[in-house]
A and B are shown apart, each in its own frame.
Chain A
Amino acid sequence: MADKKEMPIGGVIPEGGTAHGYSTGGWRKLRPVLNKEKCTNCLICWVMCPDSAIITEDGKMIGFDLEHCKGCGICAMECPDKVKAIKMEEEAD
């Protein structure tokens, strides 16, 4: 939307899937950090993440999509008590 004259009338978003291109990671204050050794790949974090920011491969949790993770900490909270493989750390640190 570089040319303002070509902005769609009435703020219509003229195609689907555009949320992907909107980096909400910049809102993050706390960053999730995964301890792979503790993780059991139960994927509760993947189920609970409101921003679909848990990246999986072959049914295994491999990390976070930090372009879209807002740092809400739900993944760390939901990670089972016996496991606690996700820790939230200050972005500033």
Chain B
Amino acid sequence: MAITMTKGQAGLTGNSAIAYAMKQINPDVCPAYPITPSTAVIEEFASYVADGDVTTELITVESEHSAMSACIGASAAGARVMTATSSQGLALMWEMLYIASGMRLPIILTDVNRALSAPINIHCDHSDSMGARDSGWIQLYSETVQEAYDNLIQAVRIAEDENVQLPIMVCLDGFITSHAIENITLLSDAEVQGFVGEYNAKTTLLDTDHPVTMGAMSLPDNYIDFKHQQSEAMARSKDTVLKVAEDFGKRFGRKYGLFETYRLEDADLAIVILNSAAGTTKVAVDELRKKGLKVGLLRPRLFRPFPFKELAEALKDKKAIAVLDRADSMNGFGGPLFNEFRSALYDAEKRPKVVSRIYGLGGRDYKVKDAVAVFEELKTIAETGRVDTLQKYITL
């Protein structure tokens, strides 16, 4: 697919931008099993392969379980490996996700967020990637097409960093971001290649002069030590995310951090929300600011590892916070973001009130008025110092 750029800008859907970034990265291997709403990523990337624009070996497999298995095999062989999926596809990869991270293979996956069955649904929520949040994969979330494109390019460097060596998942909202066209700034192929560099795996199954065994059994005498090692690498990867973002900003001018704040600094009331819905919330923030209400937003970019200290620091002085989840943990105690934010704020001296609001499951619209209503609730909580409803569904 030819992409027409005007002054370095192109109108692209999220899926096209991801496929284009993959073309520019030119991974060695891409095992894939397309699924809505990420289908077009693989469809367009397959065109690049067919047209000879990339040297990637595209492996068409019979399921996502096989796709991730092939990713693991190829990565163990020393290849740079990328794939994309959504929803049930990610769910079918589950078993292999843990093997990829435990074997410390820097596989790069795009997850176009879509609700999990049942009932079957193809639209956006975060239950797929939130379900995989403890699988040992680094997770980056993207508000816009531009950020998804930029995140994927940075993801390569983060995953392959010698202090990290972990798989990484870049998440963007199904349909809302994956299918909507945005005007974005693309980098040149040379810029992308210069940024990601060449991948040289430390160990490879193909080096017959130095034979190794990967994925061997490990019993009580050392399993926990390998997991400890993996856990430390995950915690360390936060620094790498910042280091890579800094280099990206220096080279290309677009700055990223662990999270984005919007009019948060002097705010009393805050909404925490992931991905595209942050854009909607920003409009609500602007509207309420005009009315003199001190409101702001925090949008996490890095969710795994969870940068709890930095997040708590950014929110510790707020009076009331609503954490909006587009996924339910089905634990009777709010969504996954809520649980972790509330926990992160436990050590704050003046603990803010934190409530859980679950919105937009299965692609239900989240509108400016929904964000405004949440802020109004927060205002009451801040004024009375009392939380009447700790958790509830909104956008019903």
- Binary contact track B231-263/A, C-beta < 8 Å → 1, others 0: 000000000000000000000000000000000
Some 6 contacts from A to B, beta carbons below 8 A apart, are A7-B222, A10-B104, A13-B214, A13-B216, A14-B210, A15-B212
Query: A92 interface residue, CB < 8 Å from B?
Result: no
User: Is there an interface contact between A10 and B212, defined as CB atoms closer than 8 Å?
Assistant: no
In the complex, what residues of B have CB within 8 A of residue A4's CB? 222, 225, 228
Least distance between B204 CB and chain A CB atoms (Å) = 10
In the complex, what residues of A have CB within 8 A of residue B211's CB? 15-16
**CA gap between A66 and B210 in the complex, in Å:** 29
Across the interface, name the chain B residue whose C-beta is closest to A14: B212
| Chain A contacts with B in 7-36, Cβ cutoff 8 A | 7-16, 18
Across the interface, name the chain B residue whose C-beta is closest to A16: B211
Name A residues whose Cβ lies closer than 8 Å to a Cβ of B: 1, 4, 7-16, 18
- Count of residues in B whose CB is under 8 Å from the partner chain: 21
**Contact partner, A9, options B202, B210, B213, B215, Cβ 8 Å:** B202
In the complex, what residues of A have CB within 8 A of residue B102's CB? 10-11
Counting chain B CB atoms within 10 Å of each CB, the highest count among A10, A13, A14 belongs to A10
**Contact partner, A12, options B203, B222, B228, Cβ 8 Å:** B203
**CA gap between A11 and B105 in the complex, in Å:** 11
Query: B165 interface residue, CB < 8 Å from A?
Result: yes
**CA gap between A15 and B202 in the complex, in Å:** 14
Across the interface, name the chain B residue whose C-beta is closest to A19: B213
**CA gap between A69 and B229 in the complex, in Å:** 33
- A12-B203, A14-B203 known; A7 and B213 CB under 8 Å? no
Across the interface, name the chain A residue whose C-beta is closest to B208: A16
User: Is there an interface contact between B103 and A11, defined as CB atoms closer than 8 Å?
Assistant: yes
Least distance between B13 CB and chain A CB atoms (Å) = 36
**CA gap between A9 and B102 in the complex, in Å:** 9
Query: B333 interface residue, CB < 8 Å from A?
Result: no
User: Is there an interface contact between B225 and A10, defined as CB atoms closer than 8 Å?
Assistant: no
Across the interface, name the chain A residue whose C-beta is closest to B202: A9
Counting chain B CB atoms within 10 Å of each CB, the highest count among A4, A12, A18 belongs to A12
User: Is there an interface contact between A7 and B212, defined as CB atoms closer than 8 Å?
Assistant: no
User: Is there an interface contact between B103 and A10, defined as CB atoms closer than 8 Å?
Assistant: yes
**CA gap between A16 and B213 in the complex, in Å:** 7
Counting chain A CB atoms within 10 Å of each CB, the highest count among B213, B216, B228, B230 belongs to B213
- A1-B222, A4-B225 known; A12 and B213 CB under 8 Å? yes
In the complex, what residues of B have CB within 8 A of residue A13's CB? 212-214, 216
In the complex, what residues of B have CB within 8 A of residue A18's CB? 213
Least distance between B200 CB and chain A CB atoms (Å) = 14
User: Is there an interface contact between A10 and B222, defined as CB atoms closer than 8 Å?
Assistant: no
User: Is there an interface contact between A7 and B229, defined as CB atoms closer than 8 Å?
Assistant: yes
**CA gap between A40 and B279 in the complex, in Å:** 83
Query: B218 interface residue, CB < 8 Å from A?
Result: yes
**CA gap between A9 and B106 in the complex, in Å:** 12
Least distance between A26 CB and chain B CB atoms (Å) = 12
**CA gap between A1 and B229 in the complex, in Å:** 14
| Chain B contacts with A in 157-192, Cβ cutoff 8 A | 165
User: Is there an interface contact between A10 and B226, defined as CB atoms closer than 8 Å?
Assistant: yes
In the complex, what residues of A have CB within 8 A of residue B225's CB? 4, 7
In the complex, what residues of B have CB within 8 A of residue A10's CB? 102-105, 165, 214, 226, 230
